[in-house]
Amino acid sequence: MFKKLSNLENISFNKYDKHVFVCVNSRIDLDRTSCGDQGLKLRGTIIEGLRKYSYNLNIRINKSGCLNECKLGPAIVIYPQGFWYYNVELSDVPEIIEKSIIGDDYIKRLKR
Ligand code: FES
């Protein structure tokens, strides 16, 4: 059984200020969509884009396996906010970095 977390409100479980998971799952079965190369390019673009910032944030951009949103990929999720973004394009990266990784704002047009 799950325990209530209410007694743990003042404890931080976050190792990073922002932790981003980018799906890079690639399927051999071409009948099924997967984020694959698009996800890899997306992750690289996010990492490259973050190099411009001198903010003292502890950020991690991880490759992820399938996030179970394959038809809406490439998909990413940003913690601790729990922002899920779908059909992300490389041109979306500067806005994602500024608003959701450096900032804490949700970009509504990237929801499902
Ligand atoms: S392959 Fe990316 S969400 Fe499933």
For residue 33, is it within any domain?
A: yes
For residue 85, is it within any domain?
A: yes
Residue whose structure tokens are 């038809």: 71
Say yes or no to pLDDT of 5 above 60. no
**Per-residue confidence (pLDDT) for residue 29, from 0 to 100:** 81
Give the integer Cα–Cα distance in Å for 15 and 38.
27
For residue 15, is it within any domain?
A: no
**Per-residue confidence (pLDDT) for residue 31, from 0 to 100:** 82
For residue 16, is it within any domain?
A: no
Q: What is the CATH number of the domain that holds 72?
A: 3.40.30.10
**Per-residue confidence (pLDDT) for residue 52, from 0 to 100:** 83
Is ligand 1 within 6 A of the CB of residue 47? no
Ligand 1 centroid–CA 27 distance in Å is: 9
Contact call for residues 16 and 60 (beta carbons, < 8 A): yes
Q: State the amino acid at position 21 in one-letter form.
A: F
Tens-place pLDDT, residues 45-94:
999 999 887 667 799 999 999 999 999 999 999 999 999 999 999 999 99
Is ligand 1 within 6 A of the CB of residue 34? yes
Count: domains in the chain = 1
Q: Model-level pTM?
A: 0.87
**Parallel/antiparallel/unpaired status of strands 18-23 and 76-79:** antiparallel
Ligand 1 centroid–CA 8 distance in Å is: 33
Is ligand 1 within 6 A of the CB of residue 76? no
Give the integer Cα–Cα distance in Å for 62 and 66.
13
Say yes or no to pLDDT of 24 above 60. yes
Contact call for residues 51 and 62 (beta carbons, < 8 A): no
Ligand 1 centroid–CA 73 distance in Å is: 6
* Domain housing 81: 22-110
For residue 2, is it within any domain?
A: no
Chain-centroid distance of CA 56 in Å reads 19
For residue 65, is it within any domain?
A: yes
